[in-house]
Chains A and B, each alone.
Chain A
Amino acid sequence: GAGVSQSPRYKVTKRGQDVALRCDPISGHVSLYWYRQALGQGPEFLTYFNYEAQQDKSGLPNDRFSAERPEGSISTLTIQRTEQRDSAMYRCASSLDSYNSPLHFGNGTRLTVT
């Protein structure tokens, strides 16, 4: 594809429900990253993968958050038992590798927990 694709674009869910956010990276990109961005702030690191291996998940806020990339391509960020404080823009990015390659970001999923 031309760029990083994220779906859904918008997600409204009730508190306590589980949500799954999808990221389709640029074909051939080894590394995939999940960030969260609050309004007026820069992206905040959540987790990243090289191929299918999760290399660092130190940015995940708590154990309700998890991510997977089972075949080294598409990734899913899952939030269980959502809370209002989880409301944010969730952004996925991919890069050729995890060295000093630039990140290519998707347009994000806006999550609203009511």
Chain B
Amino acid sequence: SQKIEQNSEALNIQEGKTATLTCNYTNYSPAYLQWYRQDPGRGPVFLLLIRENEKEKRKERLKVTFDTTLKQSLFHITASQPADSATYLCALDPGTGTASKLTFGTGTRLQVTL
């Protein structure tokens, strides 16, 4: 069966360090993968999209990698700040290249401390 796995345990890191979050999937052949941020009581907010033919994507302090052989995406936040504390969700398309049925992982909660 199809499965998306994100570390359910919270990730606690110190301010200024690099946070790395993992998204693993099985039985999917996604054309692209998206990362979202979700704060308590709010809807998810889009951060980055990476296509299957892209190895890496950057946006300011954020970096995403996509390894279709390992079936894994890594999400990095460099020089992390307390304001980065949130839950981060990865989402996969169903392989059709459309967002018709994005499937989300359970998310990983990141806590950045001073």
Residues of A within 8 A of B (CB): 4, 31, 33, 35, 40-45, 48, 55-56, 58-59, 91, 93, 95, 98-108
> Does B49 have its Cβ within 8 Å of any Cβ on chain A?
yes
Q: How many contacts A-B (CB < 8 Å)?
A: 64
Chain B interface size range: 20 to 34
Task: Report whether A56 and B31 are in contact in the complex, using a CB–CB cutoff of 8 Å.
Answer: no
Task: Report whether A48 and B41 are in contact in the complex, using a CB–CB cutoff of 8 Å.
Answer: no
Select which of A40, A43, A48 is within 8 A of B100 by beta carbon.
Answer: A48
> Does B79 have its Cβ within 8 Å of any Cβ on chain A?
no
Task: Report whether A45 and B99 are in contact in the complex, using a CB–CB cutoff of 8 Å.
Answer: no
Contacts of A104 in B (CB 8 A): 46
Stretch at the interface among B12-20, B59-67, B69-77, B102-110: B102-110
User: Which residue of A has the minimal Cβ distance to B91?
Assistant: A42
Contacts of B49 in A (CB 8 A): 100, 102
Known contacts A42-B104, A42-B106, A42-B107; A100/B41 CB under 8 A: no
Task: Report whether A107 and B43 are in contact in the complex, using a CB–CB cutoff of 8 Å.
Answer: yes
Task: Report whether A107 and B100 are in contact in the complex, using a CB–CB cutoff of 8 Å.
Answer: no
Secondary structure of the B side of the interface? loop
Contacts of A93 in B (CB 8 A): 43
Give the shortest distance, in Å, between B95 (CB) and chain A (any CB). Answer: 12
Task: Report whether B43 and A108 are in contact in the complex, using a CB–CB cutoff of 8 Å.
Answer: yes
Chain B stretch 3-49: residues in CB contact (< 8 A) with chain A: 4, 31-32, 34, 36, 41-46, 49
Task: Report whether A56 and B101 are in contact in the complex, using a CB–CB cutoff of 8 Å.
Answer: yes
8 contacts between A and B (CB under 8 A): A43-B44, A99-B99, A100-B31, A100-B32, A100-B51, A104-B46, A105-B43, A107-B42
Chain B stretch 85-114: residues in CB contact (< 8 A) with chain A: 89, 91, 93, 97-107
Known: A59-B101, A100-B31, A108-B43. 20 other contacts (CB 8 A): A4-B43, A31-B99, A33-B102, A41-B106, A41-B107, A42-B104, A43-B89, A44-B104, A48-B100, A48-B101, A55-B100, A93-B43, A100-B93, A100-B97, A102-B34, A103-B36, A104-B46, A105-B43, A107-B41, A107-B42
